[in-house]
Amino acid sequence: MTDHEHKSPEDSKPEPAEDAAEAKQAEDVAPAAPAAASGLTGTGTAPGEVELDKQPPTAFLEVRDLRVHFPTQDGLVKSVDGLSFTLEKGKTLGIVGESGSGKSVTSLGIMGLHTVGQYGRQRPRLSGEIWLNGQELLSADPEAVRKLRGREISMIFQDPLSALHPFFTVGHQIVEAYRVHHNVDKKTARKRAVELLDRVGIPEPGKRVDSYPHEFSGGMRQRAMIAMSLVNNPELLIADEPTTALDVTVQAQILDLIRDLQKEFGSAVIIITHDLGVVAELSDDILVMYGGRCVEYGTAEQVFYEPQHPYTWGLLGSMPRIDRDRSDRLIPVKGSPPSLINVPSGCAFNPRCPYADVPEGDVTRTTRPELREVKPGHLAACHMAQEDRERIWNEEIAPKL
């Protein structure tokens, strides 16, 4: 599928000294991890655990202990603070969470877009590892990462109107995306653009290719955006809130399109959203983020039917469903997302958690709960005992949903 060389895994093997430090840091975050990794490969994805050695992984994409910190005048904003996950080709991972939970920052981190054009004091600090097809991206030459962008990893953005340049035709922008990575003449590239536009369901693509973004409807624009992101047959497609800006009727079409295309192209897909409905449609696995960290991870079935974390319960409770009584609709998570500068001590969710006092000894406010495997392939970061969680879910939450 790819027409380019991959780096040999050995090439990016880092220095041992650095390894030790990295490993130590990683250990602080996820000491309980290693065992979990193996048993989950059956689903094609692995839980957010860290391997102690900076070894090239076997998975197509593996993110290890990713941290993205933004220095600001008010302090260090820890948008992503120790996130790990893996993803195989052909699979879809849904990352859900509220605004500011670190979803989009994660995706931009994988794209390597945090550091482009940034310098000096504004430059965000990134650490951890991102392995794509055996190549570590954070330590790689920025120029090499640039060449991966748009070709192996591409991205669909939330608002296609603002994400497309208003002064260039849609065709021009797709052609440009194609020609960056393919040494072809404009004519060929244009043919390719028309072909892609056709593929994403834009009527009369031969004509619309010369239209400007503002001449498209919202849904058409998003289709064009998708066409642009697929033009190079990327192996990894990141869709950041791809339907948020769209009409409800169009949303479904776009989701269908992404699913179809994934089947066709065989790409790995990360879909980022605050809308559990969207992930329910598409995802194989779901990663729930809160305060820059993963609080629950599992297959879609696990997360939807046996959610382990009170925050996940909250998200499910706030999901609109047609088959629900009006009076019961939308039980939002009370309170507001945590400050990423002063993350609450203990469990980051504790100020908003109705069950913060279930575990004894105020442990929720003093100790940060680690991500633990609660069932095979299902991880959660909560101090509550397994029985408590199951009881509360079954007795208090599930009936209301």
Partner 1 sequence: MLTYLIRRLFAVAVMLVVIILAVFCIFFLIPKWTGIDPATMFVGKQADKDSIEAVRQKLQLDDPVLVQLFEFFKGLFVGRDYTAGGDTTHCSAPCFGYSFRTEQEIWPVLTDRLPVTLSLALGAAVIWLLIGLTVGVLSALKRGSLWDRLAMTGALAGVSLPVYFTGLISLAIFAYQLDLVSNSFTPFSENAGKWFSGMILPWITLAFLFGAMYARLTRATMLEVMGEDYIRTARAKGLKEQVVIGKHAMRSTMTPVLTLLGIDIGALMGGAILTETTFSIPGLGQAVLKAITDRDLPLILGVTLITATAVVIANLIVDLLYGVIDPRVRLG
Binding site for partner 1 (CB under 8 A): 108, 111, 113, 116-117, 119-122, 146-151, 154-155, 157, 159, 162-169, 176-177, 180-181, 212, 214, 228
Cα 176 to Cα 100, 161, 165, 317, 371: the distances in Å are 32, 18, 12, 44, 43
Contact 30, 82 (CB under 8 A): yes
For partner 1, give the closer residue by CB, 73 or 327: 73
Alpha-carbon distance of 221 to 339, in angstroms, equals: 34
Say whether 302 sits in a helix, a strand or coil: helix
Minimal distance in Å, beta carbon 45 to partner 1? 23
Residue closer to partner 1 by CB (options 23, 180) is: 180
CA distance 292 to 381: 13
Nearest distance from C-beta of residue 174 to partner 1, angstroms: 9
Q: Which CB, 32 or 116, lies closer to partner 1?
A: 116
29/381 Cα distance (integer angstroms) = 12
Q: CB count, 10 Å around CB of 137?
A: 24
Distance (Å) of CA 325 to CA 12, 154, 329, 344, 396: 56, 40, 6, 35, 17
Q: Which is nearer to partner 1, 29 or 164 (CB)?
A: 164
Smallest separation, CB 42 to partner 1 (Å): 32
User: Toward partner 1, which CB reaches closer, 221 or 293?
Assistant: 221
Q: Which CB atom, from 102 or from 150, has the smaller least distance to partner 1?
A: 150
In 3D, which of 50, 102, 76 has the Cα closest to residue 293? 102
Q: Which two tokens stand for residue 137?
A: 């991206």
Shortest Å, Cβ 154 to partner 1: 7
Least distance between partner 1 and beta carbon 99 (Å): 16
Nearer to partner 1, 212 or 265 (CB): 212
Least distance from C-beta 141 to partner 1, angstroms? Answer: 14
Q: CB-wise, 188 or 367, nearer to partner 1? A: 188
Distance CA 293, CA 84 (A): 9
Q: Dihedral (C-alpha) 146, 152, 158, 163: value to the nearest 10 degrees?
A: 50
Distance CA 229, CA 74 (A): 36
- CA 359 vs CA 272, 332, 335, 352, 366: distances in Å: 31, 23, 21, 15, 12
CA distance 59 to 1: 17
| Cβ-based nearer residue to partner 1, 73 or 249 | 73
Residue whose token pair is 């603070």: 81
- CB of 211 vs partner 1, minimal distance in Å: 9
Query: Minimum Å distance from CB 178 to partner 1?
Result: 9
Q: Shortest Cβ distance from residue 261 to partner 1 (Å)?
A: 17
